[in-house]
Amino acid sequence: MRTTTCVWILSLCAVALGGCGAAGDDRYIFLEGGDETAALDEQVLEALSAHAVTPVSRPQPESEALVALGRALFFDKELSGNRNISCATCHHPVAGTGDALPVSFGEGGVGLGANREQADAHLIPRNAPHVFNGGVTGVNSMFWDSRVTHDPVTGVLTTPELGLNTAAPVLAEALPLTSALAAQAMFPVTSREEMRGQSDPLAPDPLRDAVDNPSIWAALMDRIGAIPEYRTLFAAAYPSVPDFDDFNFGHAARAIAAFERDAWTALDTPLDNYLGGDMSAMSNAAKRGALLFFGRASCGKCHDGPLLSDYEHHAVCVPQVGPGKVEANEDRGLALETGLVEDDYKFRTPALRNVALTGPWMHDGCFTTLEAAVRHHLDPLSSLTSFDVSQLPAPFNTMVDTDPARNAARVAALDPDHPMDVGLSDGEFDDLMAFLHALTDPASTNLLGVIPDSVPSGLPVKD
């Protein structure tokens, strides 16, 4: 315990110091130890409220039958062309709903989590993000570049499949897609690298050989419908739909989203309990860290709102690892979607519940410790130029972009709101980390109960 403690008294500093500058590290006032907690709480509550960090409402419970169908589909490799990969392979309960790899190995890879080997797999350009709280109200975009969105007011989707978009979508699959999370689940199955696999002239297959998204989704429904247990699960999940032929892959995606929402809503963290009124839910270290997060370290400029994301896109000068998207070793992020130079290197701000469980971090998983990801934000330019390749496992350690011109472009694109060089003492850094650890839901540290013993296709589940 400190005998004399420093806390920020924002309301007093104008008087005491003649004004609060943006730097703010001179905003210290000394208090006796006994007053520390109460004064901290006052400041933390003010900072949370100023950054719109309000309690998150829990989603409405889903029907059990819909969740059961979604769980089966999520873990079933039957959804992949070569029956060798499921959603769970890349979003696994043992890996914080990601895959513990910097960027994913697609279909043809072998094993799970950090032990997964590339074997015949293509590399996927980006890190598999966690799916915690993807079904919470207010989460209306998916992917690092938000290329799938759902407007909760109009119900309109934007997706890579035009037939699902607009107020009057051409494809019937759009109708069951009542959230961004559900719309997202339509797409991994369409990617040859992720799940669908390549065509093989010697082994024709309607799924691998399909020529457009509607035929992919139809081929999947044929596969699924050939398994009697799925017919039973679909009928139970959608009692108002009379016949299996009336189902489309939108119904499957909607069920997958129901499962994800049921299994991975993580809102029982110290921060949530604190927001709910339990002032002892966070340690004083975490509270001091919250003041740094929303104060001098400027994290709250982007990580604000109920889920600690503004759901906007920012360029934060992240070292590039992996095969690259469109160009080799390069990923220009949002600009690849919008075609705008000003969107270069922008990625969507990640939500931070359970962030301690969801490594490696960033759009390309370039940081394999949470400490390194946070230190990057404290001094992005030196983090980029002195990136420690040794933290990456093979083969990713040979895939770091060191091209000076592209790194200069990443520096030039850095968000003007981003801090450049936040000097934190070791104690302050520990406090900041304590706040990030106060975002962990203890129930999420062991999600093994989510894994089914078997799936309707009979394909293996545990590998």
Q: Name the site residues for ligand HEC (rule: CB under 6 A).
A: 85, 87, 89-91, 104, 106, 124, 126, 128-129, 131, 134, 142-144, 181, 184-185, 188-189, 194-195, 256, 297-299, 301-303, 314, 316, 318, 347, 349-350, 355, 358, 361-363, 373-374, 377-378, 415, 417-418
Q: CB of 370 within 8 A of CB of 436? A: yes
CB of 388 to ligand HEC, least distance (A): 16
CB of 312 to ligand HEC, least distance (A): 8
Tell me how far apart the 2 most distant CA atoms of the chain are, in Å: 80
CB of 1 to ligand HEC, least distance (A): 25
Nearest to 348 by CA among 148, 150, 145, 159: 145
CB of 163 to ligand HEC, least distance (A): 18
Would you say 65 or 373 has its CB closer to ligand HEC?
Answer: 373
Nearest to 317 by CA among 390, 439, 447, 408: 408
Would you say 27 or 332 has its CB closer to ligand HEC?
Answer: 332
155 torsion bin: left (phi>0), alpha (psi -120 to 50), beta (else): left
CB of 55 to ligand HEC, least distance (A): 21
Would you say 8 or 144 has its CB closer to ligand HEC?
Answer: 144
Would you say 18 or 416 has its CB closer to ligand HEC?
Answer: 416
Q: CB of 231 within 8 A of CB of 223? A: no
CB of 123 to ligand HEC, least distance (A): 9
Would you say 171 or 439 has its CB closer to ligand HEC?
Answer: 439
C-alpha dist (Å) from residue 65 to 145, 226, 236, 237, 259: 32, 20, 6, 5, 10
Distance CA 242, CA 329 (A): 50
Two tokens at 239? Answer: 């009692």
Would you say 65 or 318 has its CB closer to ligand HEC?
Answer: 318
CB of 201 to ligand HEC, least distance (A): 24
Would you say 29 or 452 has its CB closer to ligand HEC?
Answer: 452
Nearest to 413 by CA among 304, 310, 309, 340: 340
Whether the CA torsion 105, 107, 110, 113 is positive or negative: it is positive
Would you say 169 or 300 has its CB closer to ligand HEC?
Answer: 300
Two tokens at 426? Answer: 């070791």
CB of 402 to ligand HEC, least distance (A): 17
Nearest to 126 by CA among 343, 355, 386, 320: 320
Whether the CA torsion 49, 43, 35, 33 is positive or negative: it is positive
CB of 299 to ligand HEC, least distance (A): 3
Would you say 100 or 297 has its CB closer to ligand HEC?
Answer: 297
Whether the CA torsion 386, 387, 389, 395 is positive or negative: it is negative
Whether the CA torsion 136, 141, 142, 144 is positive or negative: it is negative
Distance CA 208, CA 216 (A): 8
